[in-house]
Amino acid sequence: MIAFRVGLRTASRATFRTTSNTTRSRPFSNTPLEQARRYRPFDSPPQYPRITAEAADGGAQQQKWSRIAPVYRAQYIWRNYRGVVMTFGAGGVVFYVYNLEKVPVTNRRRFNIFSPEAEKEVAGSSNEYKQQLEEYRGKILPPNHQKVKIVTRVVNRLLPTTGGLAGDDWEINVIDAPEIQNAFVMPGGKVFVFTGILAICQNEDGVATVLGHEIAHNVAHHVAERISGQIWAYAFAFGVSLFFDWSGGLSNQIAQLLLSLPNSRTQEEEADHIGLLMMAEACYDPRQAVAFWERMAKAEKVTQLEFLSTHPSTYNRIDHIKQWLPQALDRYNEKDCSITSQYAKDFTGALGRQIQEAPDEFAAEFNSVTSSLMQTIRPFYTNLAVTTARFMNILPSPADATSGRKAG
């Protein structure tokens, strides 16, 4: 752990050094030779097209221009824009390393440029919420409905286990739609549960399994991670397209390809794991999660379940949950759940500690890898990223984002 952190710091320092070296030695050196080299593209013998360039070097130049188009473009860019390429490359590495963070509980390291606030602004804004409410208007059950009361009770028991990481603005909507077996939580905390999935939940532990999973997506800020990945994919695709297609038309195709690759399996697994610990911590029997997923599997055979179209069952969910079960049962037993009135008052369980410690660890990580410069510019590029994401129209709808019913 410490070794890795040191490694990161060295890496970032090294990349900073590379950047400053290139910028120092190239544009500010004033020897005639340097000047001549620097201004050559604008002087008499142009480097481009290739025949003139070779002639200008008098044939003594060993550098040959390739006839293969992408290689030729790479050569052209490298010979004319080396400084720019190296600066962007080094900047990209610093940017990437600086924005690595660890997911609470599972400690997976991932790239994320969105703060929880920015994530909420992008995919969980009041506008988005209004749109969702509008979509299900007339089907939202009243607060005094028995099903709403159950869902509310479960959310209230689960939330203390998240240490405030899952959102700060909770509202619960139960949609009367027996044909939809799904549930999702918007970034920030707007809960949507469809009555179709409540039928499979059967009991409160089943509801806790589903909501534990959905709220765990928020705890791990999977939406932020997904949008970050999309922006990264577009930047990468743009870079690649420089070598293959000046028009940049290819970059969209590459980005689409990158984005269509299955990447949510890790997030699903993580949500299952965190959700299981959450429900145990909230004194719901974690063994009931296995029972719930078995009911889901059975229901899947009868009908094409919407929940499973967005929550891929490509990995063996039940097997994984059984592996985590001893850990969850430890939590469950540790809480002395027979005194159920204790559950909400005592947030000091192992999961709570683990989750609450996590933000500090992030901060330490950031500070160790970063400079004050990066901290200064972070709000700017986060805003830029939000704007870019909006402009490119690549944002998942809240439903997609929290593994809702529209995602592919």
Which residues are marked as active site?
Answer: 214
The dihedral sign for the CA sequence 44, 48, 50, 51: negative
Closer Cβ to Zn ion, 157 or 405, answer by number: 405
Tell the smallest beta-carbon distance from residue 271 to Zn ion (Å).
5
Angle between helices 204-219 and 222-244 (to 10 degrees): 50
Q: Which residue is nearest to Zn ion (CB)?
A: 403
Closest approach of Cβ 184 to Zn ion, in Å? 8
Nearer to Zn ion, 382 or 403 (CB): 403
Residue 275 or residue 286: which is nearer to Zn ion going by CB?
275
Binding site for Zn ion (CB under 5 A): 268, 271, 311, 403
- What string of H, E and C letters represents the secondary structure of 138-205? CCECCCCCHHHHHHHHHHHHHHHHHCCCCEEEEEEEEECCCCCCCEEEECEEEEEEEHHHHHHHCCHH
* Structure token pair of residue 169: 């603005």
Provide the token pair at 161: 């286990």
CB of 35 to Zn ion, least distance (A): 60
Question: Cβ of residue 123: shortest distance to Zn ion, in angstroms?
Answer: 15
Q: How far is the CB of 185 from Zn ion (least distance, A)?
A: 10
Tell me the angle at which helices 222-244 and 372-392 cross, rounded to the nearest 10 degrees: 80
Select 205 or 268, whichever has its Cβ closest to Zn ion: 268
Minimum CB–partner distance for residue 125 and Zn ion (Å):
21
Cβ count within 10 A of residue 355:
24
Say if CB 244 and CB 190 are below 8 A apart: no
Given a contact cutoff of 8 angstroms between Cβ atoms, the answer to whether 195 and 147 are in contact is yes
C-alpha span between 405 and 408 (Å, rounded): 8
- Starting at the edge strand that comes first in sequence, how are the strands of the sheet with 167-175 ordered? 167-175, 188-194, 183-186
Question: Tokens representing 101?
Answer: 């963070």
**Residue 45 C-alpha from the chain's centroid:** 49
- 254 or 401, CB closer to Zn ion? 401
Nearest distance, CB of residue 119 and Zn ion, angstroms: 16
Closer by beta carbon to Zn ion, 97 or else 401: 401
